[in-house]
Amino acid sequence: MPYTPILATLGYVLSPDRKRVLMIHRNMREGDHHLGKYNGLGGKLEANEDVVAGMRREIMEEAGIDCLAMDLRGTISWPGFGKHGEDWFGFVFVITRYAGSPLEHNAEGTLEWVETEKILDLPLWEGDRHFLPLVFDADPRAFHGVMPYRDGRMVSWTVSRV
């Protein structure tokens, strides 16, 4: 069977001093697959956009800010991750410069600045603890991971860097 994942972006906006990251605490919508968890910003790509345009659109929609500079840190394949077992494939960015002031909240939750070194202390998806250190490390190489999920739980994690 061909792999036909939902394509998505996932972005982490750094503060100007690069010591904090803007996270969304998904606490607004009952029945949200991510309810109670902290996450980066992002979402599904639209048919007419590339991954950079999609990341910029999602950051504007979710945080009200304009991305001026960003780095692709890696990609992750999430087979079985969706609420109904859908496959997802994400392009993971760090936004290093932006214009505007971030919103305090959106329809999905509260936006909060979190110290980058404390991000793993938050209630996150189990799998986020594996790839988030790669997002914020000093290695300039992109990472490419596969993280299958079954019944809402991470099954395994493999990653390579080039």
pLDDT tens across 135-157, in order? 999 999 999 999 999 988 899 99
pLDDT tens digit sequence for 3-42: 899 999 999 999 999 999 999 998 877 776 677 899 999 9
Give the tokens for residue 27: 């606490």
- At residue 125, does pLDDT exceed 90? no
In a domain, 24, yes or no: yes
Alpha-carbon span 110 to 107, nearest angstrom: 9
In a domain, 1, yes or no: no
Tally of domains in the chain: 1
pLDDT tens digit sequence for 93-118: 999 999 999 999 999 899 999 999 99
In a domain, 131, yes or no: yes
The three-state DSSP-derived secondary structure of the chain is: CCCCCEEEEEEEEECCCCCEEEEEECCCCCCCCCCCCEECEEEECCCCCCHHHHHHHHHHHHHCCEEEEEEEEEEEEECCCCCCCCCEEEEEEEEEEEECCCCCECCCCEEEEEEHHHHHHCCCCCCHHHHHHHHHCCCCCCEEEECCEECCEECCCEEEEC
For residues 149 and 80, the answer to whether their CB atoms sit within 8 Å is: yes
* Domain range for 17: 6-161
pTM: 0.94
DSSP character for 110? E
For residues 25 and 17, the answer to whether their CB atoms sit within 8 Å is: no
% of the chain at pLDDT higher than 90: 83
Q: Residue 48's domain is classified under what CATH number?
A: 3.90.79.10
Alpha-carbon span 104 to 40, nearest angstrom: 15
Whole-number pLDDT of residue 29: 72
